[in-house]
Amino acid sequence: MKVDVLLGLQWGDEGKGKVVDVLTPNYDIVTRFQGGPNAGHTLEFNGEKYVLRSIPSGIFQGGKINIIGNGVVLDPLLFMTEAKELAQSGHDLTQRLYVSKKAHLILPTHRLLDKANEAAKGKAKIGTTGKGIGPTYTDKVSRNGLRVGDILDNFQAKYAAAKQRHLETISSLNLLAVAKGGEPVSTDGLEELEASWMEGIEYLKQFKFIDSEHVINNYIKAGKSVLCEGAQGSLLDVDFGSYPFVTSSNTICAGACTGLGVAPNKIGEVFGIFKAYCTRVGSGPFPTELFDETGAKIRAIGHEYGAVTGRERRCGWIDLVALRYTIMLNGVTQLIMMKSDVLDGFETVKACTAYKVNGELTREFPFSIEEGIEPQYVEMKGWNTDLSKCKSEDEFPQEFKDYIAFLEKELETPITILSVGPDRDQTILRKRG
């Protein structure tokens, strides 16, 4: 049995949560393998709406087992809030949500460090979600982190030592921030935050802590099927994204191997998900960004505001140079196109097929996309039809069919699922072969 992976091909918020929920009935186990509560995965069905942050999106369909893998960073306080809200809506997860003992813990001081790092960068700040993601992964790589398994062994002493180290770093970052004319980060309120966080630690203990690499490999051996849910997007990958304006984990398919302990030869289908246009939250380069009323129109129709921070998402046309790159990095076998309905009312739609870099045309994603990139567009006739009501691809207008065919040709990969609205039911599985 193989492990399938679903991940974002752009800068996040492609609609991963919605499609993981749609695909869950085909699987026995759903897992998260990287990222943390910087994610906000939205699901809508039966008139209800949920936004998941650390909990996999496979919890709503048919009592499946969900696993938070070793590659994830977990904030027990935010986890408690999320799990309690779900329990109140009738979704008790204590018996079917497992947590890897090797997942790293986000401490209250990691959040402060995140803010202090940003302040010390001044104008060069990343625009992080402020959830302590970077500092937690930094502690992991510098071999200072605390893991879920540590909760069971002399935890208070380990916690106190980590906190002390963090407070010293925050003091020195504050000096840097002030030197740049910025605000120092205050530690006021840390004790209350700590008290709630410790409550979160106690709450977490109701869930099964597992050696997830063994558990998942045993499931695979027993013929069970696993779906891995990516967070963020490939253009935010720490190695291949628009560095340094990236997140701190490997968001690409290889991250599922390290983030779960699954060998590369166990990976089966790789579902690459993208919007019919492009968005980005936070700072960093975005070659096809639209600063005009077209960008504002996409934002308004697509409700492009962050699920976690409420920040405005920057909007632009679809970037096929970037998509070809992320399809290559991930070994995508099937594409999923989201939010096509947002472009319903446009006379024409554009797609960037190449970049002009210092006067030279290229179809390959360059080392830096910071400056001097002129996107080259192909303009196509819009479909001017309400796609959100379509139930099958036979109902698609010809212009939309042409757009799909154009994308498949450019991307050399089949588009097998199309989403035409936020609801679970507004999903069209295409006929294959």
Which SS3 state, helix, strand or coil, does residue 373 take?
A: strand
CB closer to ligand IMO out of 41 and 339: 41
CB closer to ligand IMO out of 7 and 321: 7
CB closer to Mg ion out of 40 and 282: 40
Residues 299-328 that bind Mg ion (CB under 5 A): 307
Please state whether beta strands 314-316 and 278-280 pair in parallel, antiparallel, or not at all (unpaired).
Answer: antiparallel
- By a kind-dependent CB cut-off of 5 to 8 A, residue 420 interacts, out of Mg ion, ligand IMO, ligand GDP, none, with ligand GDP
- By a kind-dependent CB cut-off of 5 to 8 A, residue 127 interacts, out of ligand IMO, ligand GDP, Mg ion, none, with ligand IMO
CB closer to Mg ion out of 270 and 307: 307
* 273 binding ligand IMO? (CB under 6 A): no
CB closer to ligand IMO out of 76 and 404: 76
Question: Shortest gap between Cβ of 339 and ligand GDP (angstroms)?
Answer: 4
Tell me how far apart the alpha carbons of residues 232 and 58 are, in angstroms, rounded to a whole number: 17
- Site mask for Mg ion (CB under 5 A), range 18-47, x = bound: ----------------------x-------
Question: Shortest gap between Cβ of 303 and Mg ion (angstroms)?
Answer: 12
Q: Which residue in the set 1, 44, 45, 127 belongs to the binding site for ligand IMO (CB under 6 A)?
A: 127
Please state whether beta strands 97-100 and 65-68 pair in parallel, antiparallel, or not at all (unpaired).
Answer: parallel
Structure token pair of residue 198: 């410790």
* 133 binding ligand IMO? (CB under 6 A): yes
Tell me how far apart the alpha carbons of residues 185 and 178 are, in angstroms, rounded to a whole number: 10
End-to-end CA distance of the chain: 23
* 76 binding ligand IMO? (CB under 6 A): no
Q: 260: how many CB neighbours lie within 10 A of its CB? A: 28
Which chain residues interact with ligand GDP by CB under 6 A?
8, 12-18, 39-42, 44, 303, 307, 338-339, 341-342, 419-422
CA distances (Å), 111 to each of 38, 107, 182, 295, 398, in order?
A: 11, 7, 18, 32, 50
Q: Which residue in the set 136, 217, 242, 247 belongs to the binding site for ligand IMO (CB under 6 A)?
A: 247
Question: Shortest gap between Cβ of 233 and ligand GDP (angstroms)?
Answer: 8
* Residue burial 15-44, b: 16+ Cβ < 10 Å; e: rest: bbbbbbbbbbeebbbbbbbbbbbbbbbbbb
* 255 binding Mg ion? (CB under 5 A): no
- By a kind-dependent CB cut-off of 5 to 8 A, residue 338 interacts, out of ligand GDP, ligand IMO, Mg ion, none, with ligand GDP
* 281 binding ligand IMO? (CB under 6 A): yes
List the catalytic residues: 13, 41
Alpha carbons within 13 A on the beta-carbon side of 81: 12
CA distances (Å), 382 to each of 270, 350, 386, in order?
A: 29, 9, 11
Are 165 and 146 in contact by the 8 Å Cβ rule? The answer is no
Question: Shortest gap between Cβ of 380 and ligand IMO (angstroms)?
Answer: 27
State residue 212 phi and psi, 5-degree precision: -65, -30
Q: Which residues on neighbouring strands pair with residue 68, listed in sequence order? A: 32, 99
Residue ranges that bind Mg ion, judged by CB under 5 A: 13, 40, 307
Residue ranges that bind ligand IMO, judged by CB under 6 A: 8, 11-13, 38-41, 126-129, 131, 133-134, 231-233, 236, 247-248, 281-282
